[in-house]
Every structure is written in C-alpha cells, then in structure tokens.
Amino acid sequence: MILSVSPDVQITIQDVIAEGDTVVVRWMARGTHQNEFMGIPPTNKQVTVMGIDIIRYKGGQRVETWRQWDTMGWLQQVGAVPLPAQSRSRKTLQAERI
C-alpha cells in the first residue's frame, strides 16, 4: 500500500522486540504523496509517519499481523485534515471559552 502511494518511500526500523511467537516492529516511513490514497489526489508533499506492527508466527510462518500507524498525522501532512491550530483562530478559541 505504501509503495503505491509513495513509490520513493524509505522505511526505517526503529525497534524490533521478539518474545515467544510474537515480534513487534516500530518503524518510520518517509516518502512523497505521489498517487491517490483514500480518495485524496496526489499532493507531492513529503510525509513522515510512524507505526507499529505486531506479528505472530506459527511454524515459522507469519499467521497474523496487527498494524497501527499515524493515519491522522498523514492526513494533516498532505493537507486533507487541518491542524488544530489552523482550523480555528485564537480569537475564536478565546471567544468559545467565554
């Protein structure tokens, strides 16, 4: 999936932890948003996201993978979702508090 969106992606492994039949991998991916993703047209913006994979093996084969990655951060970096400070001005926030 990452390669189809960002063909120039570079993935850096931050940590690998293994215990029993489970391996946890913490990673960081950097690339350019060059193709459509989740209906968002290419922006050609550089993005960096972090993620964690939990992988379970049985008999030397991968049998399950759970992946969590910073989807919201990716959406904010490509401009699909405004950053909290961009969505409302300071005056608006102060007025809401009153």
Read off the pLDDT of residues 31-46 as tens digits, 9 standing for 90 and up: 999 999 889 999 999 9
Read off the pLDDT of residues 37-95 as tens digits, 9 standing for 90 and up: 889 999 999 999 999 999 999 999 999 999 999 999 999 999 999 888 765 555 665 66
Domain extents for the chain?
A: 2-97
Are 51 and 24 within 8 A, CB to CB? no
Query: Which residues are paired to 27 by β-bridges?
Result: 13, 51
Q: Look up the CATH architecture of domain 2-97.
A: Roll (3.10)
* pTM of the shown model: 0.78
Q: Dihedral sign, CA of 24, 26, 30, 32?
A: positive
In eight-state DSSP terms, residue 7 is: T
